[in-house]
Structure 1
Amino acid sequence: MTMITDPTAFDGQAPSSQEVELEDLTMRQQVAELQEKSAAAELEGGEQAVELQARVAQLEAHAALRATTHPVKRLVRGRYRSASAGTQLELRVDVDGLRPTMRVSGDFFQNSGATSSYTGSFVVEAPTIRQAPGIVKLEGQGRFSSPTSSRHVRVTIPRGTGVPPTPGIATVEFSAGPGTAPTATHLCSFVSPHFRSVQLEQDSVAGTVPFISYDTGSLPQPVTSPPRTLTVPKAFAEAGIEMQVAGAPNIVPFQEAGPDAKWDESELHNAMVNHFSLWKDAPLWRVWTLVATAFVDSRVRGIMFDGAGAFQRQGCAVFHDKIKGTDPASQRAQLRTYVHELGHAFNLYHSWLKDQVSPPQPLGPNGGMGDLSWMNYAQGYKPLPPAPGGEAAYWAAFPFQFTDNELVHLRHGFYRDVVMGGNRFGVGASETEADLFGDPVVNNSGLALELRSPSAFRFGQPVVVELKLSTTDLNGRSTHGYLNPEEGFVTIAICTPSGVVKTYRPPMTRCVDDAEQVRLDSERPAIYKSTYIGYGKDGLYFQQPGRYQLRAQYVASDGSRVLSQIHHLTVRSPLTDEDENVAELMMGDDQGMLFHLLGSHSETLSSGRDALDEMLDRYADHPLAVYPHLVKGANASRDFKYLPATGKPFVMAAAYQESIDQLNKVVTASVENHGVDNITLGWVMKRRARMEARAGRVEQARQTADDMVSILSERTHNPSVRRDIKSQAQRLRDTLPGERG
């Protein structure tokens, strides 16, 4: 037996080209699909089964002919599975074939009767690879998801036969070390050349045109990337992931949506729960995509909106109005957006944040901004200088693939870290260092970030912080203005009173991928953003009284990472029984999601709405009552598109007067200094003015705009902020006549 130094050169054959391997993979998929259709047609009878069987025979004959002209090494790559009785092992062997990561991994399941439960995972990095005639042996120490004394893994796989060749049964042995007797042995039959298999259900709103395919050779691309026609399933197949389209896609009729066909996170999640036929609150290899018209934020191309509760990452959406087009450039951008959003469902973060996934992955060039990946932004691509960045440079170099460490996660991440509905999005980000990011040695970005809030919060009060991004350069600086943590460029670390450090992860991840820039200079020295950080993908972040430390990090357009100061705030203990009762009604996953969304009609959040209603009924005079009023007022100001599981979609119309009444209470409480922060107050008054205009009271709406200027201007001495307040009020006045309902 000899050691193989080049693991791709098995049996003395030269490794096949990427084109040949892609063709082989495609052929396997076609044969499997045709065989499945043939079996179904045979049950129904008719001539179609004969035609399909003839096509299978034709493909196999083509494979045999090609094998003589383009020899393909007999691969052992793929997924294997042991018998279903008792403990079942699903094995993944990734040491040859297309872009091997040189790993062996697997998941264990315990089968009992008609039930199956996940029990653990392992991965062997860089196993020793040996060969004998007609056989491959892999061996190495494994990393397991739970403690075990049998960490040594040996895998023996006979070479495949047939056209295309299929590997034999893999023998997997677990032992205490090399040369020791196995403590457990599993016999695993070959299942698929893919490492994982996912069911994709895609629906679309009437008027949108779902993406079909893109020919990568239709526009310039890297010479190392072979021209090919890519669909979304084929893009994932190249990464070793089988994406099975589940059922026929549904067209959602929404003619009643009116001119405002924009979707928000709450409507999307409600649509998924009611319309995703495969949906279940459980970890499953199933994902739903909705091709919607537009998002409420017109800059957003797509969103992985399912980021709250115990089972996340099951649904995403792409927004047709932002990415539509039939020309090659538009089709190329659509492919990237679809794959990007589905990548989030597999628990892949944006390229510049992927060190926060579990297990943490190293950042690529320029802090990840220079990654050539589906998970980077084309317009935000920034390789290390002096290489050019931006959209044109990205497409000129992008090979239409995930990076190597993203492949490791997709193929070999522990089961719950990858499966939809498994661990929460980005789990592992709690491994933030205790120094809250650590100060950079050099900061020549010309930018400064400040994090501020009231010094103390009541127990149960929604924690809202303000971010201020300013320039320290007398000549000014240009950068993007994305200060909302949902947009992926701002990260906030939270150190709890007990010393545990967490990273705030918002419930939703918006993908803006827009070249929008702001200029910070003497005329506009800073921009501001108010954000609620009390609830996110890890649930409630401020559940205990005590002193918290916070620090924010902003990733600028050029990849610079700008840190705020360490900010301190205190969550006070409840002083009375009433305070304790109010906090109990205010704190919960559903309530946290309602505060994040500023209300929702979704049935899944009904318990949260009931709790906030009870809080107002019993404790209407409590200082924290302003927050349920804000949620109810904001929610009443919006139309809600309802997509039921059956029946006709409909729109729940906004209630203008209810919104005005609720928002008035927020303004009154804030003027009396026990309400919301200034940025939120400005939003409330603008929203109230629009509701007044829609109710036919335009003059009253103009007076609200004037009141906003006087109230907010008294709360700041900053001339540029006062100018901005007046400018916002004037823009509001200009739009009020068009708001009339």
Structure 2
Amino acid sequence: MSVISDPTVLDGQSRSPGTYEIEDLLELAERDDLAEAAVEEPEGADQLVQLQAKVAMLEAQTALRAAGPQTRRLVRGRYRSVGGESQLELRVDVDGFRPTMRVSGDFFQTSGTTTGYVGSFVLDAPTVSSTPGVVRIEGTAKFGFPVAARHVRVVIPRASGPSHGPVSATVHFSAAGGAATATYLCGFVSPHFRSIKLEQDSVAGTVPFIEYNTGSLPQPPSSPTRTLTLSKAFEEAGIEVQLAGTSNTVPVGGAGTDAKWDEAELHNAMVNHFSLWRDTPLWQAWLLVATSFVQEGVRGIMFDADGAFQRQGYAVFHDAIQGQDPASQRAQLRTYVHELGHAFNLLHSWDKNFAEPPQPLGPNGGLGDLSWMNYTWKFQPPPPAAGGEAAYWAAFPFQFTDNELVHLRHGFFRDVVMGGNPFGVGAAEVDPELFGDPVTDHCGLTLELRSARAFAYGQPVVVELKLSSPDRRGRVTHDRLGPADGFVTIAVRTPSGQVRTYRPPLVRCLEDNVQTRVVTEENAVYKSAYIGYGRDGLYFEQPGRYQLRAQYVASDGSRVLSNVQHLTVRTPRTDADEHVAELMMGDQQGTLFYLLGSSAESLTDGNDALQEVIEQYGDHPLAVYPRLVKGVNASRDFKYLTADRNLYTVPADPRESIQHLDSVVEASTGEDGVDNLTLNWVMRRRARMEARTGDLGRATRSLDGMATFFRDTKGLREPVVRGIAAQAEQTKERITDENR
């Protein structure tokens, strides 16, 4: 509990912090008549605490008097109490660079050799009084747990000197400013509000980003020229990023020609390769500089967003951001900072209102934010100001927004720490009014949400999204309809009345500005999305009636709402129905359905359960879904990064893939089986496997028959059929390239 930061001479002997008895403190306090004026005594505090606070102030004022006139010391930073079973980590943010005028803290409890998190508080609008010798901060705080003593008072001496280290903060908690019910003495720890350890590895052939001089290209006049690294960018936000461990280069000799990474491979690599990784909330993260992602246009991904402990791993993709010229280096800096921002639980600028609890959006629904968390091409301030990438860089000061600073510095512990709350989750349910109809709507776009009306218990819930325009001239916007792309949000009202936001297990950051002209059926955009499993686990594990509604964020910031879709999850009718559902409903199975298979060892139990469905219940209608997962997984090479940093590939098995995918197509010719968008994709995937076995003729026949199948068997309209025929031709071209 001692707050004395330097050894103090008492009775001719030097004493270190923590070695004082109460009699020693009494003697120190009585030596100087400044002791009584040193600090306002907290009523109700025990004698030892009172004396320690007095001595701390006495030391500070003595040092100030001896040193003469000096510059006032900032009180900003992180403080921590020591000793005892209850500890407080305090953050004081009332001066220094971009102060948010807040005080916050986290409480921890020690029992034996273990320490657990208790709760957090934040004082948003304190009263700050300052004299040359002391700063007093007080007000009523918000707590993340029930507490009666919500009035907080912090007293910090300002004194400093060449030989005198930082002094401590005395924190009193009371009910409505009355007698203190708890007092903590917190020693100064760091000028940074939080500190994390970052372990970075890179795949051979990639060049990790080092630094960028902001004066290399034009920037806002108000933004000072400086050299920024990933660490320095966060340091300006008050966050210390320490590079930990050894930065390793992962050899690719055993990976073959497949240089693209998918989510399953990345997560498996993190579990095996991140030496600091633990299934627990810790201030540490892992960055992999990989080659490229399986989907074009992805520059980075915070892939660790499933399971109980999320946000510990992210990746950047060198092939999409490489370059040594200033523009490329500037873009690399933004991508690195952006992805690590996701690990701190920062959402995209236009998505913050879907956090739990909702956060305020910036200008033009967040698209006008000059932030690391916005997309350069998506930047769109309120009209008539120009938007786009050039406008973003012309105005961007290389910093987080004010509300992002508040989250980074003062968000409750579990809302910020890696491995804490799931991505986007704070402490409240979603407000259903977020999905209320707009007062005016002149965007000229229509979003339709469709699905089967009824699902069997345990059946993966898949929805179809369609973006079109009633205006025959069309509207220009982006075509990113997948929830993982960040522009579509789906609300789910459960049978119990709770409203939840579907949160996909990962966040992809698409940096390419792909625009399309959306018209009626001729050029509508379609997307199939599995929403049965996400960051919050299973979304349809309760039989009953559900309501769904989607929202799409267009290129100009317009928010387009879909229809309200109703669906029912039926109660199991037989013992077999119930057993199949049990085998298909679990975190690992949900992850496998989302990823469409994985060879990761961490998902072995889930793979075994799906295999049991195929073997024991092969005739059950739901067996089509495990076959889909097995068939797709067998169609791809799986990169495996071992703990000893060897990278090798588990090769695809085209014949096994064809066997499973044939079963999927056969089971989906009627009204059962997978949805039409998924079936379209499966048939094209199967054709690629047929070509890979050397049977190009069969692959060609499969693709040539797709348009007729969907017209005659599925009854799709002619504009949709023409689109399917075009996709089949594109697959033929891809097969030709792959088999040259």
Residue 105 of structure 1 aligns to which amino acid in structure 2?
Answer: S
Asked if the contact 1:468–1:527 (Cα under 8 Å) also holds between the matched residues in 2, the reply is yes
Provide the rounded CA distance (Å) in 2 between the counterparts of 1:511 and 1:690: 28
Structure 1 residues 657-672: aligned runs within 5 Å: 657-672=655-670
Shift of 1:145: 0.6
Structure 2 residue aligned with 1:87: 86
1:182 aligns with 2:197: no
Identity of aligned residues (%): 66
1:151 aligns with 2:150: yes
Residue 90 of structure 1 aligns to which amino acid in structure 2?
Answer: E
Q: 1:96 to 1:261 in 2, by over 3 A?
A: same
Provide the rounded CA distance (Å) in 2 between the counterparts of 1:435 and 1:579: 37
Residue 490 of structure 1 aligns to which amino acid in structure 2?
Answer: V
Shift of 1:614: 1.1
Residue 169 of structure 1 aligns to which amino acid in structure 2?
Answer: S
Structure 1 residue aligned with 2:6: none
Most deviating of 274-283 and 128-137:
128-137
Provide the rounded CA distance (Å) in 1 between the counterparts of 2:189 and 2:432: 44
Structure 1 residues 40-439: aligned runs within 5 Å: 73-162=72-161, 167-178=166-177, 180-428=178-426, 431-435=429-433, 437-439=435-437
User: Which of 675, 689, 694 is equivalent to 1:677?
Assistant: 675
SS in 2 for 1:627: helix
Provide the rounded CA distance (Å) in 1 between the counterparts of 2:592 and 2:689: 21
Q: 1:503 to 1:738 in 2, by over 3 A?
A: same
Shift of 1:525: 3.5
Asked if the contact 1:698–1:737 (Cα under 8 Å) also holds between the matched residues in 2, the reply is no
SS in 2 for 1:147: coil
SS in 2 for 1:257: coil
Provide the rounded CA distance (Å) in 1 between the counterparts of 2:377 and 2:295: 18
Shift of 1:256: 2.7
Question: Over alpha carbons, which structure has the higher Rg?
Answer: 2
Q: 1:191 to 1:647 in 2, by over 3 A?
A: closer
Shift of 1:162: 3.0
Asked if the contact 2:77–2:93 (Cα under 8 Å) also holds between the matched residues in 1, the reply is yes
Provide the rounded CA distance (Å) in 1 between the counterparts of 2:86 and 2:125: 26
Asked if the contact 1:429–1:503 (Cα under 8 Å) also holds between the matched residues in 2, the reply is no
Cα distance per residue 1:37-87 (max 9 Å; x no partner): xxxxxxxxxxxxxxxxxxxxxxxxxxxxxx999x96420000000004310
Structure 1 residues 590-605: aligned runs within 5 Å: 590-605=588-603
SS in 2 for 1:268: helix
Shift of 1:431: 2.9
Shift of 1:522: 5.6
Give the alignment's TM-score, normalised by structure 2: 0.89
Q: 1:619 to 1:429 in 2, by over 3 A?
A: farther
Asked if the contact 2:347–2:373 (Cα under 8 Å) also holds between the matched residues in 1, the reply is yes
Provide the rounded CA distance (Å) in 1 between the counterparts of 2:644 and 2:733: 42
Structure 1 residue aligned with 2:604: 606
User: Which of 580, 583, 589 is equivalent to 1:582?
Assistant: 580
Residue 731 of structure 2 aligns to which amino acid in structure 1?
Answer: L
Asked if the contact 1:285–1:420 (Cα under 8 Å) also holds between the matched residues in 2, the reply is yes
Provide the rounded CA distance (Å) in 1 between the counterparts of 2:262 and 2:646: 20
Provide the rounded CA distance (Å) in 2 between the counterparts of 1:68 and 1:326: 51
Q: 1:665 to 1:164 in 2, by over 3 A?
A: farther
Provide the rounded CA distance (Å) in 1 between the counterparts of 2:568 and 2:581: 15
Most deviating of 401-410 and 126-135:
126-135
Shift of 1:263: 0.2
Shift of 1:165: 8.0
Shift of 1:115: 1.4
RMSD of the alignment, in Å? 1.7
Q: 1:294 to 1:429 in 2, by over 3 A?
A: farther
Shift of 1:736: 2.4
Provide the rounded CA distance (Å) in 1 between the counterparts of 2:71 and 2:394: 30
Asked if the contact 2:346–2:404 (Cα under 8 Å) also holds between the matched residues in 1, the reply is yes
Cα distance per residue 1:612-653 (max 9 Å; x no partner): 111112111000000000000000001000000015221100
Asked if the contact 2:252–2:647 (Cα under 8 Å) also holds between the matched residues in 1, the reply is yes
Q: 1:221 to 1:166 in 2, by over 3 A?
A: farther
Asked if the contact 2:202–2:208 (Cα under 8 Å) also holds between the matched residues in 1, the reply is yes
Q: 1:115 to 1:478 in 2, by over 3 A?
A: same
Shift of 1:674: 1.7
Most deviating of 644-653 and 103-112:
644-653
Gaps of 5+ in 2: 1-66
Structure 2 residue aligned with 1:36: none
Residue 133 of structure 1 aligns to which amino acid in structure 2?
Answer: P
Provide the rounded CA distance (Å) in 1 between the counterparts of 2:463 and 2:448: 10
Shift of 1:312: 0.3
Provide the rounded CA distance (Å) in 2 between the counterparts of 1:626 and 1:740: 29
Shift of 1:429: 8.7
Q: 1:389 to 1:716 in 2, by over 3 A?
A: farther
Give the alignment's TM-score, normalised by structure 1: 0.89
Provide the rounded CA distance (Å) in 1 between the counterparts of 2:645 and 2:374: 39
Most deviating of 126-135 and 398-407:
126-135
Q: 1:522 to 1:186 in 2, by over 3 A?
A: closer
Asked if the contact 2:219–2:397 (Cα under 8 Å) also holds between the matched residues in 1, the reply is yes
SS in 1 for 2:522: coil
Q: How many residues align?
A: 673
User: Which of 518, 525, 528 is equivalent to 1:527?
Assistant: 525
1:641 aligns with 2:639: yes
Shift of 1:735: 2.8
Residue 356 of structure 1 aligns to which amino acid in structure 2?
Answer: F
Provide the rounded CA distance (Å) in 2 between the counterparts of 1:402 and 1:618: 54
Provide the rounded CA distance (Å) in 2 between the counterparts of 1:656 and 1:84: 62
Provide the rounded CA distance (Å) in 2 between the counterparts of 1:738 and 1:165: 71
Provide the rounded CA distance (Å) in 1 between the counterparts of 2:191 and 2:520: 60
Most deviating of 181-190 and 647-656:
647-656
Provide the rounded CA distance (Å) in 1 between the counterparts of 2:486 and 2:212: 27
Structure 2 residue aligned with 1:736: 735
Cα distance per residue 1:1-25 (max 9 Å; x no partner): xxxxxxxxxxxxxxxxxxxxxxxxx
Most deviating of 666-675 and 518-527:
518-527
Asked if the contact 1:356–1:428 (Cα under 8 Å) also holds between the matched residues in 2, the reply is no
Asked if the contact 2:471–2:520 (Cα under 8 Å) also holds between the matched residues in 1, the reply is no
Most deviating of 296-305 and 664-673:
664-673
Cα distance per residue 1:216-262 (max 9 Å; x no partner): 01111111110000000000000000000002200000123233200
Asked if the contact 2:273–2:641 (Cα under 8 Å) also holds between the matched residues in 1, the reply is yes
Gaps of 5+ in 1: 1-66
SS in 1 for 2:98: coil
Cα distance per residue 1:317-349 (max 9 Å; x no partner): 000000000000000000000000000000000
Asked if the contact 1:553–1:564 (Cα under 8 Å) also holds between the matched residues in 2, the reply is yes
Provide the rounded CA distance (Å) in 2 between the counterparts of 1:647 and 1:513: 30
Shift of 1:673: 3.0
Q: 1:433 to 1:245 in 2, by over 3 A?
A: same
Q: 1:608 to 1:164 in 2, by over 3 A?
A: farther
Asked if the contact 1:357–1:429 (Cα under 8 Å) also holds between the matched residues in 2, the reply is no
Cα distance per residue 1:572-627 (max 9 Å; x no partner): 00001110001000100000000000000011111110111111121110000000
1:708 aligns with 2:706: yes
Residue 502 of structure 1 aligns to which amino acid in structure 2?
Answer: R
Provide the rounded CA distance (Å) in 1 between the counterparts of 2:358 and 2:671: 44
Provide the rounded CA distance (Å) in 2 between the counterparts of 1:647 and 1:237: 31
User: Which of 458, 461, 469 is equivalent to 2:459?
Assistant: 461
Shift of 1:435: 4.7
Provide the rounded CA distance (Å) in 1 between the counterparts of 2:705 and 2:531: 29
Shift of 1:134: 0.9
Asked if the contact 2:195–2:240 (Cα under 8 Å) also holds between the matched residues in 1, the reply is yes
Asked if the contact 1:75–1:160 (Cα under 8 Å) also holds between the matched residues in 2, the reply is no
Provide the rounded CA distance (Å) in 1 between the counterparts of 2:442 and 2:555: 14
Provide the rounded CA distance (Å) in 1 between the counterparts of 2:454 and 2:686: 28
